[in-house]
Structure 1
Amino acid sequence: MTTISETYIENRERIQPNDTNNYDTAHGGNVAKWMDEVGAMSAMRHAGETCVTARINSLDFERPIPRGDVCVIESYAYATGRTSIRVRLRAFREDPRTGDRERTTESYFVFVAVDDEMRPTPVPDLRVGGDRCRELRDEALAGENNG
């Protein structure tokens, strides 16, 4: 059984010209794609199975990510159902020179574990393995309930 903190993944994408919109900032579709990919990795790390996106709760773009900055995606699983895994996702803009960060986007995704025939398959319970796990879970549940 996996702990919440074992599903924690942080990934980075440098915002290149091909990633931008008319305002020279990260295209929202790219940010959503990166969040979906990293979220699936957290879900699969827990399930030990392929996971597909079943639901994306509100996807709030709070501020842009300028070309040249880094988009940092933070993801972790915080709850499970019979075949589903709920994952909290946040994106940040990060200055590559200083490391200064600012949250830009937040959402909660639901992934479903599937077998080789693409049929939903059961997932194990997610274990809360200590203070860090409790903190991550509580933050996700509070944010999910306020969103």
Structure 2
Amino acid sequence: MTALLETLIENREMVQPNHSNNLETAHGGNVMLWMDEIGAMSAMRFSGETCVTARVDRMNFERPIQVGDVAFISAYVFESGRTSIKTRLRTYREDLRTGEREKTTESVFTFVAVDDDGKPTLVPDLTIESERGEQLHQEALEYDTGDR
């Protein structure tokens, strides 16, 4: 079994001109790519297997990330099935000078663990071993069911 907090992955991407649209903000496709990569890392940390994207739920783009800003991406596993893994993802615009963050994007990605032949394989049970883990779990469930 893997604890929820062990699946927490955070990463940053500096938004460069080649990541932007004609408004000089991060192109939504790039933000989605970054989220997919970090989400897959979280799912792989959880399962110990290669994971592939199976579903993306409600990709909410709340505000833009300007060229020159940093996209801070956070992902963690909050639910698992036999072979599937639900990961909550949030992206923030971060000012590296001040540490100020503002949420820009949120979603739930479902990954499937696969073996060396690309066939779905079983994943462990998720455990929640701390108050912080329980808080993150509840927040993810509320977001996933639309009770925001």
Per the alignment, residue 104 of structure 2 pairs with: 104
Deviation at 1:11, TM superposition (A): 0.4
Per the alignment, residue 8 of structure 2 pairs with: 8
Deviation at 1:12, TM superposition (A): 0.1
Per the alignment, residue 115 of structure 1 pairs with: 115
Deviation at 1:137, TM superposition (A): 0.5
Deviation at 1:96, TM superposition (A): 1.8
Q: Deviations over 1:55-106 (max 9, x none)?
A: 0001010000001100000000000000000000000001121111100000
Q: Percent identity?
A: 60
Two-structure CA RMSD over aligned residues (Å) = 0.8
Q: How many residue pairs end up in the alignment?
A: 147
Amino acid in the other structure paired with 1:67? V
Alignment of 1:46-57 (within 5 A): 46-57=46-57
Q: Give ranges in structure 1 of 5+ residues lacking alignment.
A: none
Deviation at 1:36, TM superposition (A): 0.2
Structure number having the greater strand percentage? 2
Per the alignment, residue 19 of structure 1 pairs with: 19
Amino acid in the other structure paired with 1:146? G
Per the alignment, residue 146 of structure 2 pairs with: 146
In structure 2, how many angstroms separate the alpha carbons of the residues matched to 1:103 and 1:2?
27
TM-score by length of 1: 0.98
**Secondary structure in 2 aligned to 1:57?**
strand
**Secondary structure in 2 aligned to 1:59?**
strand
In structure 2, how many angstroms separate the alpha carbons of the residues matched to 1:23 and 1:97?
23
Amino acid in the other structure paired with 2:75? S
Per the alignment, residue 135 of structure 2 pairs with: 135
In structure 2, how many angstroms separate the alpha carbons of the residues matched to 1:127 and 1:101?
29
In structure 1, how many angstroms separate the alpha carbons of the residues matched to 2:114 and 2:84?
10
Q: Give ranges in structure 2 of 5+ residues lacking alignment.
A: none
Deviation at 1:110, TM superposition (A): 0.3
In structure 2, how many angstroms separate the alpha carbons of the residues matched to 1:117 and 1:139?
35
In structure 1, how many angstroms separate the alpha carbons of the residues matched to 2:104 and 2:130?
28
Deviation at 1:33, TM superposition (A): 0.1
Amino acid in the other structure paired with 1:62? E
**Secondary structure in 2 aligned to 1:96?**
coil
In structure 2, how many angstroms separate the alpha carbons of the residues matched to 1:17 and 1:97?
20
